[in-house]
């Protein structure tokens, strides 16, 4: 028995990284977790671990870029108390070198898929007058940096959507939380940073995935507006919002470490 006992939590992008760790923690708190991702074999491994620990878990393989399937998957899952939109990826390239195919793929997963899953859950949550939507965004959604123009654009979109949604749902009993982490030690960078230069540059400052997952799990079913990690990076984004030209000149070299 735990704080989340009998709560039904749908986690996308749960086959590894942050999503996998969230699945373990939420299940340990008593939640019935429903996991989605493209890799069914990995989802089954996560499920096996959760069941082995006495938790409850079901898997629904699903590529969130196939937005027409979101509603069908939600119907198979049934009512959802908490949706954690974690699925996402990035590719670090200059604006000149990035491809339109990469742009399309990132927006389909990071933005359209997130919106589709949210819309699939909203009617049930509105009927129950309760629920929690947690969108995994990024500090990149607040402070764009070189070689992340497309990725930052998707996360700016997630923040804009989430902020508007939060205001629309005021008074309904449904909370909206955005999570804005800096770089996390996960497989994210096997795609985003294929040459490994960014990881080498900022590796010492990378966030521990388990610690981030703990912060998010603690915020489930609360009215937490945002989770910003790490604090020093969030302070930098706030400074940038106030003095963008100053920060770009002062921290130009640091921001180009990709």
The pLDDT value given to residue 193? 52
Say if residues 20 and 8 touch (Cβ distance below 8 Å). Answer: no
The pLDDT value given to residue 55? 98
pTM: 0.90
For the chain, where are the alpha helices, taking DSSP H only?
17-28, 40-52, 70-77, 100-107, 114-128, 149-168, 188-192, 197-202, 209-219, 231-242, 244-250, 252-255
Going residue by residue through the chain, which has 258 residues, state the pLDDT in tens, using 9 for 90 and above.
789 999 999 999 999 999 999 999 999 999 999 999 999 999 999 999 999 999 999 999 999 999 999 999 999 999 999 999 999 999 888 899 999 999 999 999 999 999 999 999 999 999 999 999 999 999 999 988 888 899 999 999 999 999 999 999 999 999 999 999 988 876 654 554 556 555 555 555 678 999 999 999 999 999 999 999 988 777 878 888 888 887 777 666 666 665
Phi and psi based region of residue 7 (left: phi greater than 0; alpha: psi -120 to 50; beta: remaining)? beta
Say if residues 205 and 36 touch (Cβ distance below 8 Å). Answer: no
The pLDDT value given to residue 197? 54
SS3 percent helix, strand, coil of the chain, rounded to 5, is 55, 15, 30
> Which domains, from first to last, does the chain contain?
8-255 (3.40.50.720)
Catalytically annotated residues: 151
The pLDDT value given to residue 188? 59
The pLDDT value given to residue 244? 81
């Amino acid at each position: 028995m735990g704080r989340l006992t009998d709560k039904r939590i749908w986690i996308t992008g749960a086959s590894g990284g942050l999503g996998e760790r969230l699945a373990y923690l939420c299940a340990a708190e008593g939640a019935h977790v429903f996991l989605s991702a493209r890799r069914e074999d990995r989802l089954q491994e996560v499920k096996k671990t959760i069941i082995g620990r006495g938790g409850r878990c079901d898997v629904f393989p699903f590529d969130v870029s196939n937005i027409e399937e979101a509603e069908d998957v939600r119907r198979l899952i049934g009512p959802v108390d908490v949706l954690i939109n974690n699925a996402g990826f990035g590719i670090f390239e200059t604006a000149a070198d990035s491809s339109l195919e990469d742009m399309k793929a990132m927006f389909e997963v990071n933005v359209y898929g997130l919106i589709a899953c949210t819309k699939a859950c909203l009617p049930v949550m509105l009927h129950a007058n309760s629920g929690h939507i947690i969108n995994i965004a990024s500090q990149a959604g607040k402070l764009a940096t070189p070689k992340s123009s497309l990725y930052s654009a998707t996360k700016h979109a997630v923040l804009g959507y989430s902020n508007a949604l939060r205001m629309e749902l005021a008074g309904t009993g449904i909370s909206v939380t955005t999570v804005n982490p800096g770089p996390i030690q996960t497989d994210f960078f096997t795609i985003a940073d294929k040459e490994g230069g960014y990881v080498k540059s900022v590796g010492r400052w990378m966030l521990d995935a388990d610690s981030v997952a703990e912060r998010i799990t603690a915020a489930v079913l609360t009215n937490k507006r945002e989770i910003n990690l790490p604090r020093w990076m969030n302070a930098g984004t706030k400074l940038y919002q106030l003095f963008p030209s100053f920060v770009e000149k002062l921290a130009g070299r640091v921001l180009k470490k990709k």
